[in-house]
Structure 1
């Protein structure tokens, strides 16, 4: 099978696409891929590192208010459709997959016009603008959160698939996570992470609560500052009037996050959809601080979905501080019944077969399209 993947801007769009590719490759090693990304997104560094063929389009998103820039965006979209059509006609894919971001628009729309089977995947509980637009043209819309299927009323087919990143991390080795952290197996671990570049609000709250963690000496705290904030956090700890507790591990970044996640007892993080898919795939309780700086406040909606099912505690950023964060962490870590119940609810929300479900749907679309071309259907 020949497959075009498109998704860009943030890791939340890119990693699900790569997880789908990984599953398709595992099923059929001779599968060929082309990834089409934007010129400015993280895909420009992440995708080439995989060795996958990579092409880019010059595309930007619409402003939500009236703006002359939107005229330029329309022109870029039309040029993007033309460029995408040329790429697709040359590569001749059996199916095209879009996982979000502006670059998906022209690629998936061009595939629709060329009658190539298409699928889009929506990671968040509130769909992005691009996926809303594309939903009326594609063969299948796959959603990460069960119950959000009605967000796409004009779609031909909507299926609950979960997020394919869940499949990637589900088999992560907890023992290896403990080894990477230099900790004995079964050590209770609280992982505090704000993403690859970090989250200022989470960092500030974590630094405020550091003096309190000595009250939980049997719990090890792994504090991932993000590369942007590491030096500042290290300097704050060095200049503090108290000694940094021995049960605190401060890192700028974690290369092998799935293994560290698998070793974690509780996660404190933002509420990005892909990361939540990983957390629930492993059945980990969470304290979630959704970012308020995202479109449609979708991270809070993501977080509330876990909270309503008993898998997470949500702290809004305006309510976040060292005291509120420590109180939430302590409540979970000191109550084994609560922690076990949250872990069970998290695992029930997890969809570890997500990539398999999506790969199966893609093969069905490709086979049906081939049958139609041959006149069988």
Structure 2
């Protein structure tokens, strides 16, 4: 069997695609998977390293205003449709899957024209513009949140709630393993703070007051991932505040970590942005969270994602514009000092988790591919 998967631009589109691909290969035993992306996207670097075949098309996203560049983009999109048709005719897939990003547009549209079964996977509560357009043409829409279904007004019958796919390592990592990897004390509560791969200045700045408060605390330890761009500034600011990181014994600052599953396994409370992939992972593990949505996300989708967890009692949301050290510290203390509340949020988080989402999506994809062969 042959499957084409398209998704790109951000890790939030690429890593779910990789997870789905690996699950399909695992279920079938022998399946050829081809990824279609762009030369300039992160997918061009990530996908070949994952061992999958990769081809590119020339396409770019529309600006959210009238411009000459948009005219050029439309012309380029027509060209990318022909490129997609050629790749699909040559590869002859049984099914085509899109996980988001503008690169999916011509690929899924070409597959629809060729009468090949199609699936899109929407990670966020508020669907992106590409997926909203594609909803009219594809066969199935796998959504990460039940609340997303209402935004596919003319395609309700196609929507299947699956949850968002997570890496299997997220569930297999153990607490003791995570503690050993990062040198954490098993007798202390662990606060995990992550602002994204590039870091989040607002979160990092607010954390200075948190570090001052908890430095040398015998009951709480902090694993703070600043992002590569922010690391030196934050370490310098902490030291200027009179905190000796080498002697506190409970504050660990990292620019980036490659073993996030182990960090999640060790966490009792997380301070996160509200990207769909990160939320899928913390809810699968049942981790209570303080969420600070990225304020410039398209359609403000991160805040909508965060509010779903907050509504279910699994998280507290602080808007980036309202964030400061005092507010963040107050939220953290309120949870860490009332263990019953922290535990209750963890239970609610776990209820929202969908650890088997990748398997559900893979089964959905394979059911369409099987139908196509009959």
Normalising TM by the smaller chain, what interval?
Answer: over 0.9
1:166 shift after superposition: 6.3
TM-score (norm 1): 0.95
Q: Which residue of 1 aligns with 2:5?
A: 5
1:237 shift after superposition: 2.3
SS at match of 1:81: helix
Q: Which residue of 2 aligns with 1:374?
A: none
Determine the C-alpha separation between the residues in 2 that align with 1:235 and 1:153. 51
| 1:270-304 residue CA offsets vs partner (Å, 9 max, x unmatched) | 00011000000000000000011111111000000
1:167 shift after superposition: 5.1
Aligned pair partner of 1:363 in 359, 363, 366:
366
Q: Which residue of 2 aligns with 1:243?
A: 244
SS at match of 2:153: coil
Q: Which residue of 1 aligns with 2:99?
A: 99
1:2-81 residue pairs with structure 2 within 5 A? 2-81=2-81
What runs of 5+ residues in structure 2 fail to find an aligned partner? none
Determine the C-alpha separation between the residues in 2 that align with 1:186 and 1:157. 48
Determine the C-alpha separation between the residues in 2 that align with 1:349 and 1:308. 11
Tell me the number of residue pairs that the alignment of Structure 1 and Structure 2 aligns.
371
Q: Which residue of 2 aligns with 1:165?
A: 166
Mapped pair 1:354 → 2:360: no
Checking the alignment, whether the CA contact within 8 Å between 2:216 and 2:250 is kept in structure 1 is no
Checking the alignment, whether the CA contact within 8 Å between 2:171 and 2:285 is kept in structure 1 is yes
Q: Which residue of 2 aligns with 1:258?
A: 261
Q: Which residue of 1 aligns with 2:180?
A: 179
SS at match of 2:119: strand
1:319-338 residue pairs with structure 2 within 5 A? 319-338=322-341
Q: Which residue of 2 aligns with 1:280?
A: 283
SS at match of 1:96: strand
Checking the alignment, whether the CA contact within 8 Å between 1:271 and 1:291 is kept in structure 2 is yes
1:168 shift after superposition: 5.3
RMSD of aligned residue pairs (Cα, Å): 1.4
Determine the C-alpha separation between the residues in 2 that align with 1:242 and 1:135. 53
| 1:227-275 residue CA offsets vs partner (Å, 9 max, x unmatched) | 1111211222233334343210000111110121011100101000110
SS at match of 2:205: helix
Q: Which residue of 1 aligns with 2:215?
A: 214
Q: 1:292 to 1:122 in 2, by over 3 A?
A: same
1:154 shift after superposition: 1.9
Q: 1:118 to 1:165 in 2, by over 3 A?
A: same
1:186 shift after superposition: 5.4
Checking the alignment, whether the CA contact within 8 Å between 1:77 and 1:106 is kept in structure 2 is yes
1:143 shift after superposition: 0.6
Q: Which residue of 2 aligns with 1:309?
A: 312
Determine the C-alpha separation between the residues in 2 that align with 1:168 and 1:32. 23
Q: Which residue of 2 aligns with 1:375?
A: none
TM-score (norm 2): 0.96
